[in-house]
Structure 1
Amino acid sequence: MQDELPLKRLVRLTWLQAVIIGFIFYLVASNTDRPIHHLIAYTVLTMTGILLVGYSDISLMLVLGKRVSIRSKRFSFLRRFLTYPVSIIIYLVLRPAFGYIDGINWSFWDLGSFAAFVGSGIVINTLITLLHDSVLLYEHKLRSELEVSQLKAVNAEAMNLALKQQIHPHFLFNALNTLKALYHKDTHIADDYIVHLANFLRASICHQSVHVSKLKDEVDLLLDYFEMQRIRFGEALHCKILLPAEALDCFYLPSFSLQPLLENAIKHNNFTVEDPLDVVIEQNGTWLLISNPIQKKRIKVASTNFGLANLAERYKLWSGDDIIIEEENNIFSVSIKLLNHEHRNYRG
């Protein structure tokens, strides 16, 4: 990110400092026996000196900023190396004007007044550079925070895409194996399976770059996947979707959230026509609840750990929330908080 000087802030701060110091000087000097016109002239000259020093510092920063980074040590060194001589010269140039107001004709070699104006230039330049430094530090902090947030966003995008890619190869591997088996049994059923597979893949591709999908779209994806599994398992597999119509259109979920849950239930449970697996999807307040009876297979199923782990990672990445996984009263359930707006960040 290219560094830029916050010119408006620097100029406003310079004027603010000139007004404050000028006002303080006027209050202090008003307690003396100086004529009012002398006080006003001294105040104007004091403010002029501060403004000249302030603008010279800003001008030097602009020149140096074209050659070196404003965050570098070299920039800081050169700026101080140049601003102090410039501020001293400014106050020595103003020295005759101050003498004229008081009716004093200082010679150049008057060491007392010379030292006083050199000291004034050093003090004023120190105050101005410190205040300007505070503005630069604040600007650097804002830019650093912006850079960090942009890096986090890019990293989150990369992680999200990588996690999504875990779903498709895993799903396709299972789908093609199933399709191969079906063609050996019944070509008409295999053709139906291909239709649902094509619908599912078409929807998946359309939502590939989408972080969050409408609940209705997620349910449609799930139904295509369920129809494919129903072809395989027949009446041994049931899926009840008990969601009100308004919820389908009002709520959102991270993309590809429901299909892995049904896949997980199929993978880890034993079911037959006599003892079917009933998967229920329902709304519980602001949460989506997916549950099924625990009918664990006696033979341990090899798992690539893409299902729940993938969903938990993607949901945490996008929403900042955790999914709730419970096993109670022989019921396995997963709860996912429903999102109410597709363009919210949800983190924080």
Structure 2
Amino acid sequence: MNFQENEPLFSSKLFLYLSRILVLFTFSIIFKSFDHTFVNDLRVMDVRGWTFSVVYVVFGLLVWEGAVWLARVLEKRIGGGSASRRLTVLCCALVLYGMLAAVGFGFLYAITDILLFHRYEAWESFKRLSYDLNFGIFMFYLLILTFNGIIYYYTAWKEYQVQAERLKRENIQARYDALRNQIDPHFFFNSLSVLTNLVYKSPDLSADYITQLAKTYRYILDKKFENLVTIQTELDFLESYLFLMRIRHQQSIQFRIDIDEKIRSKGMIPPVSLQLLIENAIKHNRFSSADPLVITVNSEDSCLVVSNHIRRKASTEISSGIGLENIQKRYALISEQGIEVLQADDMFIVKIPIITVT
């Protein structure tokens, strides 16, 4: 039996009470079998034996509920105290309650045995406050409380797990949102400086530039609260971004994209991942119209591969900390898969996993 699939059954009140009845009935049989001072000739499964078990189970259920109620009342009244004080008061109260329950059961069974079977053995044991009788019942009471404590703390542990998992997800989402928020203004202000120069030279091209810039920034705003987007959606965004880069750098940068159509429509990646990798390549490499920087994006196995030749600048700008580290952290927050960064000969290669959602 799969416990997780049947957990609602195990957590139901019906299962709780049935388990209590089973435990109490088992204790009643054990008690009848070994406590000879209770009733010397009591047979375990005759009418009197069944009567004893029924009384024991019914009384035990009432005592059980009373112990739960007492624990709740004490927890409520001394909830503001220290943990040690609360535990001490609770244990002392339950021990005293257990003593009263043991005496109460001895009296109840003695009266029942007299009224129904005209037997006085139990009454004589009760009048003498028989150590075996009362201590035996008290020990069974403690066993019941122990069983109840296991159930209680298991339930509390499950609730703690659910709460901890919820807090973990909220924390992950908050960290992910913080990473995404870093992306918003990243290249926008750089683009404005290009537009300032372009608007005087070519009004028509400036209009196209503004349109593509608006599409780019709208994509970031629209996808801001999404953890994953399809690769095709990301490529549509990338087309607008690459238009801006071509205007800014002319023929100094070339882009080659070769991704299978099925992967485009089915595969998913965190939004703006490809843009960050391309921007990272542009930032850290030198290029010119005579010796352009070629950036390739293609699919390989279950990854997207972004690669370019390494042409390190003599003086590199101070990193803003967004690039590769940002992508790595975003993948760590949403998937067990991570990005892979390789430097082979004069090539810089980044592999980002394609995530499939079923």
Q: Which TM bucket (shorter chain)?
A: 0.7 to 0.9
Q: 2:202 aligns with which of 186, 189, 198?
A: 186
Q: 1:140 aligns with which of 142, 147, 156?
A: 156
Q: CA deviation at 1:10?
A: 4.5
Cα separation, 1, equivalents of 2:169 and 2:306: 30
Q: In the alignment, residue 101 of structure 2 is paired with which amino acid?
A: S
Cα separation, 2, equivalents of 1:326 and 1:24: 70
- TM-score of the superposed pair, with normalisation by structure 1: 0.85
Cα separation, 1, equivalents of 2:180 and 2:338: 17
Q: CA deviation at 1:192?
A: 1.6
Q: 1:245 to 1:222 in 2, by over 3 A?
A: same
Residue identity over aligned pairs, in percent, reads: 26
Corresponding residue for residue 151 of structure 1: 167
2:26 is the alignment partner of 1:16: no
Across the two proteins, how many residue pairs are aligned to each other? 335
Q: CA deviation at 1:68?
A: 6.0
Q: In the alignment, residue 53 of structure 1 is paired with which amino acid?
A: V
Q: In the alignment, residue 310 of structure 1 is paired with which amino acid?
A: N
Q: 1:146 to 1:314 in 2, by over 3 A?
A: same
Corresponding residue for residue 345 of structure 1: none
Q: CA deviation at 1:210?
A: 0.5
What are the superposed Cα offsets for residues 41-86 of structure 1, whole Å, 9 maximum, x if unpaired? 2333333343332232234345556656599666655554053244
Q: 1:184 to 1:294 in 2, by over 3 A?
A: farther
Q: CA deviation at 1:144?
A: 1.6
- TM-score of the superposed pair, with normalisation by structure 2: 0.83
Q: 1:96 aligns with which of 99, 107, 110?
A: 110
Over the aligned positions, Cα root-mean-square deviation in angstroms equals 2.9
Q: Which moved more, 1:203-212 or 1:166-175?
A: 166-175
2:128 is the alignment partner of 1:111: yes
Q: Quick check: 2:52–2:109 contact (8 Å CA) kept in 1? A: no
Corresponding residue for residue 346 of structure 1: none
2:258 is the alignment partner of 1:233: no
Q: Quick check: 1:315–1:321 contact (8 Å CA) kept in 2? A: yes
What are the superposed Cα offsets for residues 184-217 of structure 1, whole Å, 9 maximum, x if unpaired? 5433322221110001111111111111111111
Name the SS of the counterpart of 1:170 in structure 2. Answer: coil
Q: Which runs of 5+ in 1 are unaligned?
A: 1-5, 343-348
Cα separation, 2, equivalents of 1:322 and 1:42: 65
Q: Which runs of 5+ in 2 are unaligned?
A: 1-10
Q: In the alignment, residue 110 of structure 1 is paired with which amino acid?
A: K
**Which structure has the higher relative contact order (CA within 8 Å, separation 6+)?**
1
1:205-220 to structure 2, matched below 5 A, reads: 205-220=221-236
Name the SS of the counterpart of 2:350 in structure 1. Answer: strand
Q: CA deviation at 1:154?
A: 1.3
Corresponding residue for residue 320 of structure 2: 304
Q: In the alignment, residue 265 of structure 2 is paired with which amino acid?
A: D
Cα separation, 2, equivalents of 1:170 and 1:259: 11
Q: 1:328 to 1:271 in 2, by over 3 A?
A: same
